[in-house]
Amino acid sequence: MKLLLISTLCLTSYFVSAAPRTLSDTSDQFHRRSSSPTSNIVSRSDRYDQLSPQNSPFFPDLQIPEDVITSYAGVDRHTTLTLSRQTLDLSKYPEPWSKPDIYHPEVQAAIQAIDWDLVPDASVRPVNALGDIDFDSYDENEDADCWWSASNCKTPKVNYLPPDIYTCPRKGDWGLTFDDGPFNLRDSDEEDAEDENPYAEPILYDFLKKNHVKSNLFYIGSNVVTYPAAAKRALNDGHYICVHTWSHPPMTTQTNEEAVAELYWTLRAIKEATGVTPKCWRPPQGDVDDRIRAIAWQMGMRTVLWDKDTQDWALPAPGGGDLPPSEVNLKFSQWIDEAKYEQTSHGTIVLQHELNSATVRMAQKWLPQIKKVFHVVPALACNGITQPYWESGFEYPSLY
């Protein structure tokens, strides 16, 4: 079965449905002449009356999975509880968690499909000796590049990009999101396997299903290729799947070509594992500026951030930090109290993770209490988006 390719669209709204297609539709690869991806390209004074074009990336022939559920209509489906450990064909992908090769022919094709005249000329951000982003040379007050990490900017400085999605406009909505999945099982001889595997997928997905809750899941490509059955299970449960890069780097530290590679391989992995091509992505650590937004947008994706951070990613567990659980518990408790006493004027999008045992346990602890106070929905759904993929055959309920 061949990949669907949506041809370039000049968009006048932030999300649109492509022309009616099915999973089996095909088309020729889209080509365009483009400037060098490393050239100086967009003046700050250039303004556009409409959003810049998007196109769903072209992939080579992929074997799309069968028995994929495409219509949810708010009904919980019976989905497989035992998941296969079979990987995708790893020889066709970069080494998991490695920096992808920008000279790979598929990446080069994706680079050539971008109109680099519509990618702002923001600098590649430097890192310091500790590997952290160096902010010293950036003027945060001017914030010429709408760099979220420096200024929390969410509305691009160029008119041809849409604002980031970062909150739920309707009071009482809790936009549920989990980053870094799918949470892979470890081999039995791996360090921490005994402690972590009881919380690997499908444990969180089973819990969400039991609680009749859907979420936005922001997937790391390296985790998808090694555990595609978990991604397919999530899709069949009715969760919204989005991109979270291949190896989780701060994206403003990547060159244009490196950014394309990070996004391309994740899109490809999700397509092969589930049959869908997401219209949404979330930058690791929220690190995004107008240069990276423009690249992601032309590759078919709008940027999704958050307005509440649980900081569960810093809990003491593999891949985490040393933040006491009491501090995360306090955040949840305060947010619930604010809602109870109507101290908010809109809903919220909350950053959580399916990263390790600690993050899953925290979700299990607090979600039942959150449901008593909030209307829990996927982050895109609370923003009125019910078509999160370029494939038009996937129907999500308009109301949750």
pLDDT of residue 165: 99
Catalytic residue among 179, 180, 237, 287: 179
CA distance 193 to 204: 17
CA distance 384 to 397: 10
Is residue 353 annotated as a catalytic residue, yes or no? yes
Residue 321: domain span: 90-125+140-383
Question: Does the pLDDT of residue 44 top 90, yes or no?
Answer: no
Predicted TM-score (pTM) of this structure: 0.89
Q: Which residue has the higher pLDDT, 297 or 10?
A: 297
Q: Is residue 78 part of a domain?
A: no
Question: Does the pLDDT of residue 220 top 80, yes or no?
Answer: yes
Question: Does the pLDDT of residue 15 top 50, yes or no?
Answer: no
pLDDT of residue 79: 66
Question: Does the pLDDT of residue 37 top 60, yes or no?
Answer: no
Count CB neighbours of 252 within 10 A: 25
Angle at the Cα of 152 from the Cα atoms of 148 and 157, rounded to 5 degrees: 65
| Residue 270 burial (C-beta neighbours within 10 Å; 0-12, 13-18, 19+) | buried
Give the model's confidence band at 282: pLDDT under 50 very low, under 70 low, under 90 confident, else very high: very high
Helix (H) or strand (E) holding 353: strand 348-353
pLDDT of residue 82: 84
Q: Is residue 17 part of a domain?
A: no
| Residues in Cβ contact with 194 at an 8 Å cutoff, skipping those fewer than 6 apart | none
Percent of the chain with pLDDT over 70: 85
Q: Is residue 41 part of a domain?
A: no
Coil, helix or strand at residue 371: helix
Q: Is residue 25 part of a domain?
A: no
Q: Taking Cα atoms as reference points, which of 3, 8, 18 lies closest to residue 276?
A: 3
Question: Does the pLDDT of residue 211 top 90, yes or no?
Answer: yes
Q: Is residue 84 part of a domain?
A: no
Handedness of CA 223, 231, 6, 289 (dihedral sign): negative
CATH number where 291 lies: 3.20.20.370
Question: Does the pLDDT of residue 395 top 80, yes or no?
Answer: no
pLDDT of residue 216: 98
pLDDT of residue 2: 35
Q: Is residue 325 part of a domain?
A: yes
Is residue 179 annotated as a catalytic residue, yes or no? yes
Q: Is residue 112 part of a domain?
A: yes
Q: Is residue 1 part of a domain?
A: no
| Residues in Cβ contact with 98 at an 8 Å cutoff, skipping those fewer than 6 apart | 247
> pLDDT tens across 64-117, in order?
888 888 877 656 666 667 899 999 999 999 999 999 999 999 999 999 999 999
Structural domains counted in the chain: 1
